[in-house]
Amino acid sequence: MTLRIGIAGLTGQVGRLVVEEIRAVGLTVAGGTIREGTTKTIPQAVSAFTRIEDLAAVSDVVIDFSHADTTAASAAALVARGIPWVNGNSGLSASDEAAMHAAAERIPVVSANSFAPTAVLVPEVMTRLGGGLPAAEYDVEILETHHHHKVDAPSGTAIAIGKLIARARGQVFDEVAVLGRRGHVGPRKPGAIGFGAIRAGEIVGESSVLFLADDEEIVVTRRVFDRRVYATGAVLAARWAVRQAPGLYGMRDVLAGAAS
Amino acid sequence: MPLRIGILGITGKVGGLCAAACAGPDLALVGGAGRPGTAKPAPAGVARFPDAASLAAACDVVIDFTHADLAVPHAEAVAAARCAWVLGTSGIGAEGRAAIAAAAQVVPIVQAANFSPGMNLLLALAEHLARLLPDEAYDAEIVDLFHRRKVDAPSGTAIALGEAVARGRGVALDAVEEIGRAGHVGARGPAAIGFSSLRGGNGAGENTLLFTGRAEQTVLTHRVTNPMVYARGALQAARWVRGRAPGLYGMADVVAGEAP
């Protein structure tokens, strides 16, 4: 019998992709939760429930891309049935966090802001380079490219990477960050972390870190072609979670486990 | 007390760069030795020693970019003089390797095929990524771009990257490599590591590793803009190896030792 995966937040953007991904890898879509009275289209041939308890009753594991405000209800229902929980909701309040931690004492919980496997690993690589290559010799520049609808720059991901590198170099981010150059800005300051932001077309997202020395250059780029990657990672996490002891895990654990 | 450095292969290209890079209050260039009987001149102002034994006797560390057939006499010279050895000579055979292993009982040795600090850090990170990104989901491809005079393909560094990926995946590179595709080669092998070599212009060398998934891609690029990087790396190794316990080390140890 194939693994039955339930989806909390069935009609959301990622929830729909999760349905497709589960089918693509030959597993079973156990069903999904919807908001009572929703007008959104329910994916074909999927049982929809308004209560997470009903979904938990027919699932081996639940992937949750619903909303932070359902956290306590999900935690209670999944713990009651002993069902592993892959939680992709962001913006959890302190009490949501507490509910998730309490649940993790009874069931395996995988929580992540992004389930893209390289979303964790590549910033880690960038940070290790930032720490290992001395700031006096290697200038760091961060370039990100996103679709033309995006309204803020640099991207949150680019800034997060810059902060990690600054910390690895023993710098204070706000003192070294140069967010967008314009006009007679003078020569580059030693130890600066510069940013560039390209907005173009429908590009899903791309981030590069450049380490530039007098005699060598290293560039690390992470590029997303398709939002499906978030669904792929969540299904990978679900398959991994059902084999784990209770505990709170991240994508780092999933990838390390899949590799061993 | 400054580190006393001697350069074996002082009339060679990298030897000359090492002499030029030997600047700073913590370094003292004692002199160099060339192949006995060579007519090539040493760089101006560098003391010429008659042989490796006399040079090693006057130094804390010797840097060696010479020829494989000198590995045995050089190993004997550094061991007799209790002098540390930074060895960049490639193509050393079984007899030379045995002599190096014997010398490593007595003195610390750093041996590497590529002394670029950035490249060595990148090799370690390539292996790390390959271990964690499942090979069935992430295709690994390597591209090297070098000046038009280069005679071999793929580049030694490209092969080193391939070996790092293969190590991370726990496979033998020669079992999965696809080098220089031409003709009806059929679809890509599911866990293949592909190599493409481009030649043209005058660049000092660029090597790129790509991990491509269905929905995302990670790219690591290393570019040498000045061959002085090899000399800089050799001097970094020389500073690092001073005072180490006897043993055979690699550049990975040197760069790891400097990371926080």
pLDDT digits (tens, 9 = 90+) for A174-232: 999 999 999 999 999 999 999 999 999 989 899 999 999 999 999 999 999 888 888 99
Q: What are the two backbone dihedrals, phi and then psi, of residue A172, each rounded to the nearest 5 degrees?
A: -95, 120
Q: What does the pLDDT look like over B101-116, one tens digit per residue?
A: 999 999 999 999 889 9
pTM above 0.90, yes or no: no
Report d(CA A141, CA A135) in Å as an integer. Answer: 12
The one catalytic residue among A67, A101, A146, A149: A146
Verify whether the Cβ–Cβ distance A217 to B222 is below 8 Å.
yes
The pLDDT assigned to B259 comes to: 41
Given the residues A150, A163, A184, A189, select the one marked as catalytic. A150
From A24, A25, A26, A33, select the one nearest A6 (Cα to Cα).
A33
* B21, B27, B31, B32 alpha-carbon torsion, rounded to 10°: -50
Residue from the list A122, A131, A170 with its beta carbon closest to the beta carbon of B259 = A131
Contact between A255 and B259 using a beta-carbon 8 Å cutoff: no
Which of B144, B169, B148 is CA-nearest to residue B157? B144
In this prediction, residue B96 carries a pLDDT of: 96
Residues 92-131 on A with a CB inside 8 Å of B are 116-118, 121-122, 125, 128-129, 131
- Predicted local confidence at residue A259, as pLDDT: 59
What stretch of H or E contains A152?
none
> Which residues 6+ apart lie within 8 Å of B174 measured at CB?
none
Does A117 sit within 8 Å of B215, measured CB to CB? no
SS3 for chain B is CCEEEEEECCCCHHHHHHHHHCCCCCEEEEEEECCCCCCCCCCCCCCECCCHHHHHHCCCEEEECCCHHHHHHHHHHHHHHCCEEEECCCCCCHHHHHHHHHHCCCCEEEECCCCCHHHHHHHHHHHHHHHHCCCCCCEEEEEEEECCCCCCCCCHHHHHHHHHHHHHHCCCHHHHEEECCCCCCCCCCCCCEEEEEEECCCCCCEEEEEEECCCEEEEEEEEECCCHHHHHHHHHHHHHHCCCCCEEECHHHHHHHHCC
Instruction: Considering only the beta carbons, identify the residue of A122, A213, A256 that sits closest to B218.
Output: A122
Helix (H) or strand (E) holding A234: helix A228-241
Q: Are B124 and B255 in contact (CB under 8 A)?
A: yes
Q: Among partner residues B118, B219, B224, which is closest to A133 by beta-carbon distance?
A: B118
- Which residue in the block uniquely carries the two structure tokens 């059929």? B186
**CB of B3 within 8 A of CB of B60?**
yes
User: SS3 of A61, please?
Assistant: strand
Place of tokens 């590069």: A208
* pLDDT attached to residue A194: 96
A173 vs B150 pLDDT, higher one:
A173
- Phi and psi dihedrals of A237, rounded to 5? -65, -40
According to DSSP, the β-strands at B108-111 and B27-33 are: unpaired
Q: CB distance A218–B260 less than 8 Å?
A: no
Cβ-contact A10, A46 below 8 angstroms: yes
In the residue annotation, A146 being an active-site residue is answered as yes
A58 class by beta-carbon count within 10 Å (0-12 exposed, 13-18 middle, 19+ buried): middle
Separation of alpha carbons A196 and A158, rounded Å: 9
CA atoms within 13 A on the CB side of A249: 27
Please tell me the number of Cα atoms within 13 Å of B235 on its side-chain side.
24
pLDDT for A199: 94
Q: Please tell me if residue B102 touches chain A, with a CB cutoff of 8 Å.
A: no
Mutate: best of B132, B219, B220, partner A, most A CBs <10 A: B132
DSSP single-letter state for residue A226: -
Residue type for B98, please? A
Instruction: Based on the residue annotation, tell me whether A40 is a catalytic residue of this protein.
Output: no
Confidence (pLDDT) at B260: 33
Span A86-124, pLDDT tens digits = 999 888 899 999 999 999 999 999 998 888 888 889 999
ipTM of the complex: 0.81
CB-CB: which of A129, A222, A228 is closest to B125? A129
CB A3 within 8 A of CB A9: no
- Check if B181 contacts A (Cβ < 8 Å): no
Under-50 pLDDT residues of chain B: 258-260
Task: Report how far residue A110's alpha carbon sits from residue A114's, in angstroms, rounded to the nearest whole number.
Answer: 11
Residues making up chain A, counted from first to last: 260
User: Alpha-carbon distance A71 to A87, whole Å?
Assistant: 9
Is the CB of residue A141 less than 8 Å from the CB of residue A161?
no
Name the residue among A3, A4, A67, A12 with its Cα closest to residue A231: A12
Which A residues 160-189 touch B at CB under 8 Å?
168, 170
Q: What is the C-alpha separation between A6 and A2, in angstroms, rounded?
A: 13
Task: Give strand pairing partners of B248.
Answer: B109
* CA–CA distance, B50 with A238 (Å, rounded to integer): 68
Answer yes or no: are the C-beta atoms of A6 and A37 closer than 8 Å.
no
pLDDT for B42 equals: 83
Shortest CA distance to A239 belongs to which of A217, A213, A257?
A257
Query: How far is Cα A199 from Cα A180, in angstroms, rounded to an integer?
Result: 13
